[in-house]
Structure 1
Amino acid sequence: MARIVVIGAGLGAMAAAARLAVAGHRVTVYERAATYGGAVGRHERDGFAFDTGPGLLHLPAVYRDLFVKTGKEPLEECVTLTQVDPASRHVFADGTRVDLPNASRAGTVAALDAALGSGAGERWGDFLVRAREAWDHTRRPLLEEPLPADPAPLAREPYPALKAGLLRRPTTTLAQVGARELRDPRLAALLDAYAWSYGFDPATAPASAAVLPYMEQTFGSWYVAGGLRALADAVFERCRQRRVEFVFDTAVAEVLEKDGRAVGVRLAGGESVEADHVVSGAPVPALHPGGDAPRHQGVGTSRVTVCLALRGPREADAVHRTVVHAAGGRPTVTVLRPDEPALRPDDDHESVTVTATVRTAPEQDWEAFADRMAEAAGSAVPELRERLLWRHVRTPEDVRRDTGSAEVPGPALAGAEGRLLPADNRSPLPGLWFAGGWSQPGGGLAHAGMSGALVAGFIVEGAEFRGSR
């Protein structure tokens, strides 16, 4: 039985902790905050509650596998999962609206044809066929396997872009895919919105980012009853059932090294804790002791979240998720309106969350930016201004406080000369491992869960571990 210290109580770190505890190891989690969940947070006030991190779950099979491998109760006995249908409503700059069904290729094609004109759905469907080819080439190496010792093959673009122009110039970015292959500014905006939702600028994101809409439209979008925070609650409880020890309000100041190997941690209060392995869920390269920092993904974006407390009931034909595309100086925003009694004081009120991706570098007047976000959200919520009781704005600095970094990591993407590959789960220092959104396979709820599985696999199975099956 090994002694294992886990730094941080985010979803990826807890996923690793639960698996390691089931394997018979003694696991202690040190979390600098007062609670668990990392980016999967909650804001509560006056009977209203809001998810302050992800609002929907994609690839729920990752957490089904976690619960199967760590206990008798499957995921569906611990949380209630519901497919969101329609998966999303899109409001384009010209006022056109379209509702896209959940995990239905034929339904999506029909909806786009009806809203955008004959042929629009076919172009989108043809694009998804090419996106599937990129997905098939990268799914295992980018999602289920450790990063290879030589990541050069993953630095090459896997998306089979259509050649365009007299000079047959190659397509290198997602924005070029939209312009050359979709040939409708609204379809291009639809594609761009998927990139922005994961933190990628479509003007610089590789064409391989086509896998993001493919993944969502193929495997669906799911809501966890009680909000996504309920998933963090369930994973935390599973850890406790497996006798994982949690120590909150306790920061780790340093990873201890001896004879070229991690041997424990030093807490901020000065206490040293010995360990056979250290699993860090902290942002890479934080806490890496000396030497060159591990390679890590840098997307340069964060999120602003506006929590809106509204008087008046949610209208009967409201949808769970609306993407309002940029127009007139307003940013693209995602408006989440779950029909969820647990998130509102009563049926005469509603909790609405509005999010936008922003660049981390420039200083901004976030309240003014939130004004523009709320104005955009008015296209999704009738009479929003008149119904507003109060709002709460969460900025990149709040993200930094909760997670250790203002930047929000994106999922691993091939191409882009390898710039969008996250850190290896194996630290350059033996005995130190990385789990969570900053390590393979990158950011997002499902990806964080997979990173925990990869780290546990390495520690339990050793060097022969080749990935999840």
Structure 2
Amino acid sequence: MARIAVIGAGVGAMAAAARLAVAGHRVTVYERSSTYGGALGRFERDGFVFDTGPGLLRLPAVYRDLFVKTGKEPLESLVELAAVDPASHHLFADGTEVSLPNASRAGVMAALDAALGAGAGERWGAFLIRAREAWDRTRRPLLEEPLWPNWQVLAREPYPAPKQRRLLRSPRQAATLGEVAEWELGGGHLGALLECYALEYGLDPGTAPASAAVLPYMEQTFGSWYVRGGMRELARAVYERCLARRVEFVFDAEVARVREKDGRAAGVELADGTLVEADHVVCGADPRGLERMLPGRELWGPDTVRPAATARPSRFTVLLALRGARPADAAHRTVVHSPGATAEARAAFTGKHDEPPTVTVLRPDDPAVRPDDDHEAVTLTATVAPSGPVDWTDEALVRQYTDRLIAAAARAVPDLRERMLWHEPRTPVHIAQATGAGGGSVPAPSLAGAGATLLHPSNTTGLPGLYLAGGWAHPGGGLAHAGMTGALVAGLIVEGDDFRGSQ
């Protein structure tokens, strides 16, 4: 039985802790805040309950596997998963609308034909076939296996873009998602639909690789799911599974240093001076913080993927408490599109925010998140630059951007301003406080192509015995990918060099 210290109580770190405890190890989690869950936070006021992180779950099989492998009670016996149908309602800048059914390719194609004209569904369906090929090529190495030693092969673009003849130039293949949107989907509404998937994950469609096509493929193939009571309930279920497996938690315990002995990780030192011995250390926090915890120690060799040198985009969220019942026909998720996602991304990611934002409006039909049926809890979210390039402590800026999100959402929620009781903005500063990520950055899933610049560091490091879990490690951000880090880290510790990936 090994002693294992886990830094951070995010869902990826807790997933690793539960699996390691089941394997017979003694696991203790040290969390600098007073609660678990990391990005899966919750805000409550006057009977209203809001998620402050991800609002939906994709690839629920990752968490079903976690609960099957760590106990007798399956996931669905502990939380109620509800398929979101329609998966999304889209409101474009010119007023055109389309609702896309959940996990139904044929239904999506029919809806696009009805809303955008004959042929739109066929064009989108042909795109999804190519996206499926990219998914099949990268699913194992980018989701289910440790990062390959020859990870450089993932720099190649896996998306099989058809060759396009552009004016008098030689035929070319789309290299970015923006080019896929323009060349293969013809721009317009279909292009805007594709680009919003990149923007949701903090990616610029103009620079994101064509392989980002796997993002809409995953959603439209495996569906979107909501956890009754809010996504925080998923974090609670994982936490309670850890407790049932005798994982120990120490809250308000910031790790100041990772201890090293005989060339390997040997425990942690807390900010209050407490020394903790361990045979393995799992870091579930932003790995850039390891430079502070291991000063002078090189963790990333010349042939390894290093943590991102600059802060990635973040999210700006507005929580709305509304009087009046939620209409029965309201979509759970509505995307109010900016006139141009690429222009918006380029402005937002540089900190200018001078383009209209694309706003996601979440309106769950869930009695647990509202005081009664005569009120409604609504969450608005937009992708923004992180704190640092933008001063998100500037109250005037926060008020201005809050108003921009509310103005956009008013297109989807009739009489929004008249119904509003109060609103609460949540900026990248709040995300940084909750997760410890620099600038409140939100990690995107790892993607192939783009010269391997969108990969995340391996779950192993240059210090034997020190491992990485959570959204900032391979295979990256998003609830499903972060959850997979738990399976990968546990496999690497338990099986060592024989581990070949999750089955």
Give the TM-score, by structure 1 length.
0.98
Distance 2:391 2:244 in 1: 44
Indicate whether 1:391 and 2:427 are aligned.
Answer: no
Per-residue CA deviations over 1:363-385 (Å, capped at 9, x if unaligned) read: 36122111111111112211100
State the secondary structure of the residue aligned to 1:286.
helix
Distance 1:354 1:293 in 2: 39
Q: Percent identity?
A: 68
1:41 alignment counterpart? 41
CA pair 327-171 structure 1, distance change in 2 beyond 3 A: closer
Amino acid at match of 1:457: G
Amino acid at match of 1:203: G
Amino acid at match of 2:151: P
Amino acid at match of 1:318: A
Alignment check: 8 A CA contact 2:470 2:482 kept: yes
Indicate whether 1:141 and 2:148 are aligned.
Answer: no
1:424 alignment counterpart? 458
1:412 alignment counterpart? 446
Per-residue CA deviations over 1:340-391 (Å, capped at 9, x if unaligned) read: 1111111111100000011222336122111111111112211100000111
Correspondence for 1:367 among 368, 392, 399: 399
1:17 alignment counterpart? 17
State the secondary structure of the residue aligned to 1:451.
helix
Tell me, which stretches of 5 or more residues in structure 2 are unaligned? 301-305, 341-354
Distance 2:488 2:480 in 1: 13
Tell me, which stretches of 5 or more residues in structure 1 are unaligned? none
Amino acid at match of 1:402: A
Alignment check: 8 A CA contact 1:161 1:171 kept: yes
State the secondary structure of the residue aligned to 1:285.
helix
Distance 1:180 1:162 in 2: 9
Counterparts of residues 213-362 of structure 1 (less than 5 Å): 213-288=216-291, 289=294, 290-294=296-300, 295-297=306-308, 300-327=312-339, 329-360=355-386, 361-362=389-390
Indicate whether 1:439 and 2:473 are aligned.
Answer: yes
Indicate whether 1:169 and 2:153 are aligned.
Answer: no
Distance 2:187 2:493 in 1: 49
Distance 1:367 1:355 in 2: 15
2:347 alignment counterpart? none
> Following TM superposition, by how much is the alpha carbon of 1:285 offset from its aligned partner in structure 2, in angstroms?
2.1
Indicate whether 1:101 and 2:113 are aligned.
Answer: no
Per-residue CA deviations over 1:49-75 (Å, capped at 9, x if unaligned) read: 100001111000000000000011000
> Following TM superposition, by how much is the alpha carbon of 1:299 offset from its aligned partner in structure 2, in angstroms?
6.9
> Following TM superposition, by how much is the alpha carbon of 1:227 offset from its aligned partner in structure 2, in angstroms?
0.7
Alignment check: 8 A CA contact 2:22 2:245 kept: yes
Alignment check: 8 A CA contact 2:50 2:369 kept: yes
Per-residue CA deviations over 1:366-420 (Å, capped at 9, x if unaligned) read: 2211111111111221110000011111111111111111110000100010110
Alignment check: 8 A CA contact 1:313 1:349 kept: yes
Task: Quote the RMSD (CA, aligned, Å).
Answer: 1.2
Amino acid at match of 2:213: A
State the secondary structure of the residue aligned to 2:110.
helix
1:193 alignment counterpart? 196
Q: What is the number of residues matched between the two proteins?
A: 469
Moved over 6 A (4+): none
Amino acid at match of 2:227: V
Distance 1:34 1:323 in 2: 34
State the secondary structure of the residue aligned to 2:172.
coil
Amino acid at match of 1:224: V
Alignment check: 8 A CA contact 1:154 1:418 kept: yes
Alignment check: 8 A CA contact 1:285 1:293 kept: no
> Following TM superposition, by how much is the alpha carbon of 1:293 offset from its aligned partner in structure 2, in angstroms?
4.9
Amino acid at match of 2:403: D
Distance 2:172 2:148 in 1: 30
Amino acid at match of 2:416: L
> Following TM superposition, by how much is the alpha carbon of 1:296 offset from its aligned partner in structure 2, in angstroms?
2.3
2:489 alignment counterpart? 455
Distance 2:252 2:411 in 1: 41
Alignment check: 8 A CA contact 2:299 2:461 kept: no
Distance 2:134 2:311 in 1: 21
Give the TM-score, by structure 2 length.
0.92
State the secondary structure of the residue aligned to 2:425.
strand
> Following TM superposition, by how much is the alpha carbon of 1:253 offset from its aligned partner in structure 2, in angstroms?
0.5
Alignment check: 8 A CA contact 1:199 1:299 kept: no
2:349 alignment counterpart? none
Distance 1:245 1:142 in 2: 31
Alignment check: 8 A CA contact 1:194 1:212 kept: yes
2:352 alignment counterpart? none
Amino acid at match of 1:291: R
State the secondary structure of the residue aligned to 1:322.
strand
Per-residue CA deviations over 1:141-170 (Å, capped at 9, x if unaligned) read: 000000011211101100111222132133
Indicate whether 1:207 and 2:210 are aligned.
Answer: yes
> Following TM superposition, by how much is the alpha carbon of 1:284 offset from its aligned partner in structure 2, in angstroms?
1.5
1:113 alignment counterpart? 113
Distance 2:252 2:297 in 1: 29
